[in-house]
Chain A
Amino acid sequence: MNRVLALTRSELRLIFRNKTVLISTLAVPLGLGLFFALTGFGDGSGASIIAMQLAMVLGLGIYVAATQTLVARRQNLVLKRLRTSGISDAGLLTATIAPVVLLAVAQMVLFAVVDVAFGLPMPSSPLPIALAAVGGLALVVTAALATAVVTPTAERAQITTLPLFFVMVGGAVVLAFLPLEGIASLVNLVPGAPLGSLANVAYGGSAFSLVQLASLVVWPVLFGLLARRNFRWDARA
């Protein structure tokens, strides 16, 4: 555990040393999240704002940033070298991703404070939002590991992360506005869509469904299996 913490500290220090990473990890999602809160994004009901804040922090702050970090560390052979140290493989991946996760969680807390300060309507039940945050976290972390499998360079990560990022944000936005029911609720199966639909549930817009739960569980499991099977530690094929 001490080794994971030591590497996490080192990675965190690196984020604050690299302005480009700092902006993409911290400033952009933070700025967008504040923008949504200040402008009353969408119908101003709260569900759409919280869904977008979650989607931005999870998508940009973790998914894109973690994929770039993993691929960059692999590309310059750092992952390969660190595997020769005393840290376990799981510990190495955890410590590499942990700093962006910590910063993202800090941003979520900040958004909660800002939303309260700006008088955003409070959800009738905060549990669905907590579920969306935890499930979303599992989704983006495993998705970052899986996307790293098909991403040869850190520059290419800006492209390979786009499809899932847009699907996630799109799904979250659509389902925050539209409480789909019946067969249409299967849209919840799109990765990230439960961020919106669970925000809607939290504000009493629709009922909680097992499809949402299935989506929260199935995608991280699939991405996790894909990464476990195919993750490469070496930049060389």
Chain B
Amino acid sequence: MRRPTGTVVPGGTVVVMTETAVRTDIAIGVRDLRVRYGEFEAVRGVDLEVRRGEVFALLGTNGAGKTTTLEVLEGFRTRSSGDVSVLGLDPGTERHRLRERMGIQLQEGGFVDELTVAETLELWGQLSPREDRVGRLVDRFDLAHRRDVRVSALSGGEKRRLDLATAVWGSPELVVLDEPTTGLDPAARRRTWDAIQELQDGGRTVVLTTHYLEEAEALADRVAIMHEGRVAVAGSLSEILASRPSSFSATLPAGVTPPPGIDGPAVRVQTDDLQRDLTAFLGWAADHGVPLTDLRAAPASLADIYLSIRSEA
């Protein structure tokens, strides 16, 4: 039950807000979500929280349960158990109300081949509760020169862009994108990133899945990595990267004995304290007059974490 609360701002205007609006900045809340297909449990106790206005990336191996989780959030898949709230609604029972506020790009979704790009978008606009302009979207997604071309004549990348254009029609409050840049060339991928950034700048919440780790690094405020139906790691990128060891590497000249505890001549060290250990290594090299080649130092990358989760399983 929403309980009205009020506050007085300068000028004497009373601003009335609901308790929900005051209380929460959570767009999506998932607790102990489980989805079973017969004996097989595709999602095994997932907890997620997506904040309003953020870009949240759901990563994972093939078959990790990402798409099934998204389908539950979209209201297309019945959960076996668990609590799910999307924009304050239960997608299992309030899918239609949710659709008014949510844009979706499916991993696989089709359009009628015989309609043109413009006709497809016009139809989408008539089916949508939100207002937008065909011209804005064909410009935004580089489809202006193809607006009178039938969908059957579009390339795979162009169809993907049309798909994205329908998902963001009218800038919905929440946009869920399942692998939005798969099959796109680098330029189109960049434009898609820009569009996602634009949505976030406009205060929209975006949830996306991707296999491109650099995409998650470029776009996401927070990520969750799923593996075998569970969330293996979740948090902001900086939190996740800080939780994993950094590394440095270098090559020693032939015949030089490396410092104790380090193998050489190809040195590769993983450390929880990069500054301390790298400083010590460089100090050792300076003290012994050892020239280092190929010296590199880096924090853990999302790719390292992703691969380590796979290998740990």
Q: A residues engaging B (CB < 8 A)? A: 2-3, 6-7, 10, 14, 17-18, 73, 76-78, 80-88, 236
Contacts and interface: CB of A to CB of B under 8 A. Distances in A.
A236 B96 CA distance: 23
Contact of B99 (A10, A78, A85): A85
Given A17-B114, A85-B124, A86-B100, 15 more contacts: A6-B126, A6-B127, A10-B119, A73-B112, A76-B112, A77-B106, A80-B106, A81-B109, A84-B99, A84-B106, A84-B109, A85-B99, A85-B127, A86-B127, A86-B129
Most A Cβ at <10 Å: residue of B74, B76, B100, B126: B126
Contact of B96 (A10, A80, A82, A88): A88
Interface residues of B, number: 26
Nearest to B125: A6
11 contacts: A10-B115, A10-B119, A77-B110, A78-B110, A78-B112, A84-B99, A84-B103, A84-B104, A85-B128, A85-B166, A87-B127
Given A81-B106, A81-B109, A14 B127 contact: no
A7 B96 contact: no
A80 B105 CA distance: 11
Contacts of A87: 127
Contacts of A84: 74, 99, 103-104, 106, 109, 167
Contacts of B104: 84
A2 B125 CA distance: 11
A84 to B, nearest CB: 4
A166 B151 CA distance: 37
Contacts of A17: 114
B106 to A, nearest CB: 6
Contact of A81 (B111, B114, B115): B111
Contacts of B108: 77, 80, 236
B129 A80 contact: no
Contacts, number: 61
Nearest to A5: B126
Contacts of B127: 3, 6-7, 82, 85-87
B86 to A, nearest CB: 14
4 closest A-B pairs by beta carbon, nearest first, are: A77-B110, A6-B126, A81-B109, A84-B104
Contacts of B124: 85
A7 B109 CA distance: 17
Nearest to A3: B127
Nearest to A79: B110
The listed residue with most B CB atoms (<10 A of its CB), out of A73, A77, A81, is: A81
A81 B74 contact: no
A190 B96 CA distance: 38
Contacts of B109: 77, 80-81, 84
A67 B124 CA distance: 24
A77 B103 CA distance: 17
Given A76-B110, A80-B110, A86-B99, A3 B74 contact: no
B110 A10 contact: no
Nearest to A83: B76
A86 B103 CA distance: 10
Nearest to A18: B114
A82 B169 CA distance: 13
Contacts of B96: 88
Contacts of B292: none
Contacts of A86: 99-100, 127-129
